[in-house]
Structure 1
């Protein structure tokens, strides 16, 4: 019979665990406190408040439900970057209980097995974040997510299967148009692929499974137009590398292993065999249609990137009407775009709609990506404040290229 554990008992366990980490394991006070906090939160909010269990009654199934379901839905501000820190705390805590004789070997192994593959919980976070509450299929989509297996294996991918070419994008331009364009995407993406191939099995960051700072700076230096960012920059601070990382994941050119390493796949060789035009089509389709635009932003950015992405056909239509090489004030053009959409009742509504574009994924990530693809050009305001500089925002004006006009015309539908 399950016995309710008191908060006082929880605190005794947590304090004992904290002292064990500091005194016996030599872990810093800051790290020991962080691990202890994770166990306290788990015990008080999930075990006592939800499951009515004690810390000594936890099984692997409880870990899976907590991190693959309850924590995602119930904890405000939770994110995929929490996963690895929580699992490390669980492993240390239950090994501590085992050493103290409170846990049998078989019970410990069951819990450790549930902690072995962080990627399955990260996939659960990603899948939940992609659910759309405003969708007509919301209830069914949520039910499918909720009933999903926590220990699901990676979807089988046939890495030798040919890439599907988006016919709409492909007919928009010729190989000759591509040669005459100002795109830098193919050469720089090739540089990116060669680098991660040379550093295959590189260890990724614990928080988000991103490329580490050392490699980010090396990759940035190898690009045709290196970006300027501070010495503490992480992957999302490099718009180009972050873009290429996410496109590569969408195309299954590499996978993140259970050991949190980057592992290239045979699909990379298949991609390299494509013609330049085919590579461009595959990459642009992955950026414009296949990858959720929220992934191009730094984690926990907020805003409404999903709304902006839903408007991409209308965006393409409006951009196709721009004159080639004519400078358009970015903010004013966005306001006019929102006004012509016909959804705003007054100027305040227009400003609020425009904010979704000006201070969002479009200004920060999609416009720079379109520049990399050679579809447009732009310049930032010279008097941008530090925040806008750090976020890659503050476009003053933009122009459409001849190559971009051809593609945007086709994307109208």
Structure 2
């Protein structure tokens, strides 16, 4: 434990005694904080007590403690009042801001949720779906929501999430217009493609003979909606909406953002997003998405970083650039989806190459938003729970070298 943290804990203990709390209870709070700082916060997160945020508090209760500590529900529950009292104390001393205090107390106020992971002994979610894999066929059941990601997103400042409005407009079109897929291609008709495209906040420049794969946005929305079981395809190729559409539209905006993030990252098979003739390595790309999230999370915030060029020596940047270059589906579709979700921005350098322009390839610089950094840290952390960070990087390097 760092000396500054030890001093804060000792001062907190003396303050509790001065306020009339018994020495036994005061010592219990002190010991909880020492364990929190020594066993978890410093070695696992590299943070000091004054740097704690709501995301890390939630991670401690719902994932780290249940996985690492052979304690009881009562033991874990005892950390809640200890942390609550301690951060009130730090706020009074001016060590943490009012906003930080409110966010931490907000997480600590959800006792049933914080202890739910410990009691269940496995994953958690807001609805009936047990995991974040492919969508359940119970089309009338609630849309699955990753609660940890939701509580993170809810407390973050977010840039404009263009996909949120556009996906709502896409669903609105399906609600009010009978849609029948083209039997020959299994995709939207040209009439529907152009009508939907014109509704979007920033319509794509599509040719008159465009097909579904010509629109990155429409193709992505189709696969997201299908994997969320928002519609079924009838024997006549007609789209039949399920009750889940209304359930999704009744969610608040943060919940919808989380559902779309989870769908893009986990539910949709990236191989489904590839155009005919693309390479067949999309499945490998998705298997390595934990390392992809780790690399993105290491980028600076709100500053474009060049990722192309023979003179780049940084290992992380080279891995990231190779990942985008080799896995076409990532550069063509996934990066577009992340941009639409407010995670990042990028610049293309095509030098007039029509193929690169047409296929949305040639990313030469990236900008990660503050919102995106938090989300990518979350996805990277989930991946590290199954595989250490160096193993994630080794997996990416091995895959790229093999290809």
| TM-score for the superposition, normalised by structure 2 | 0.57
- Inter-partner Cα distance in structure 1 for 2:243 and 2:147: 24
Shift of 1:340: 5.1
- Inter-partner Cα distance in structure 1 for 2:298 and 2:373: 8
Alignment of 1:10-89 (within 5 A): none
Cα 1:210–1:253 change in 2 (3 A) is same
- Inter-partner Cα distance in structure 2 for 1:304 and 1:162: 33
Asked if the contact 1:316/1:412 (under 8 Å) is kept, the reply is yes
Partner of 1:412: 380
Asked if the contact 2:197/2:203 (under 8 Å) is kept, the reply is yes
Partner of 1:111: none
Partner of 1:199: 177
Q: Could you report, residue by residue, the CA deviation over 1:171-199 in whole angstroms, capped at 9, with x for unpaired residues?
A: 33225524xx2211111100000011111
Aligned counterpart in structure 2 of residue 188 of structure 1, from 159, 166, 169: 166
Shift of 1:166: 1.4
Partner of 1:383: 351
| TM-score for the superposition, normalised by structure 1 | 0.55
Unpaired stretches in structure 1, ≥5 consecutive residues: 1-154, 342-346
Asked if the contact 1:303/1:356 (under 8 Å) is kept, the reply is no
Task: Give SS of 1:263's match.
Answer: strand
Shift of 1:331: 3.2
- Inter-partner Cα distance in structure 2 for 1:332 and 1:247: 34
Partner of 2:189: 212
Alignment of 1:110-189 (within 5 A): 157-174=137-154, 177-178=157-158, 181-189=159-167
Asked if the contact 1:175/1:277 (under 8 Å) is kept, the reply is no
Asked if the contact 1:330/1:398 (under 8 Å) is kept, the reply is yes
Shift of 1:325: 1.5
Partner of 1:291: 268
Partner of 1:328: 305
Unpaired stretches in structure 2, ≥5 consecutive residues: 1-134, 382-403
Aligned counterpart in structure 1 of residue 328 of structure 2, from 344, 351, 360: 360
Please list every run of at least 4 consecutive aligned residues from structure 1 whose deviation after the TM superposition is greater than 3 angstroms: 330-333, 355-359
Task: Give SS of 2:334's match.
Answer: helix
Aligned counterpart in structure 2 of residue 249 of structure 1, from 217, 226, 231: 226
Task: Give SS of 1:177's match.
Answer: coil
Shift of 1:397: 1.3
Shift of 1:220: 1.0
- Inter-partner Cα distance in structure 1 for 2:331 and 2:313: 16
- Inter-partner Cα distance in structure 1 for 2:187 and 2:269: 17
Cα 1:156–1:393 change in 2 (3 A) is closer
Q: Could you report, residue by residue, the CA deviation over 1:369-394 in whole angstroms, capped at 9, with x for unpaired residues?
A: 10000000112115241111121212
Q: CA RMSD in A?
A: 2.7
Matched, 1:399 2:367: yes
Shift of 1:300: 4.2
Asked if the contact 1:357/1:363 (under 8 Å) is kept, the reply is yes
Cα 1:216–1:232 change in 2 (3 A) is same
Shift of 1:165: 1.1
Asked if the contact 1:308/1:357 (under 8 Å) is kept, the reply is no
Partner of 1:370: 338
How many residues were matched structurally? 247
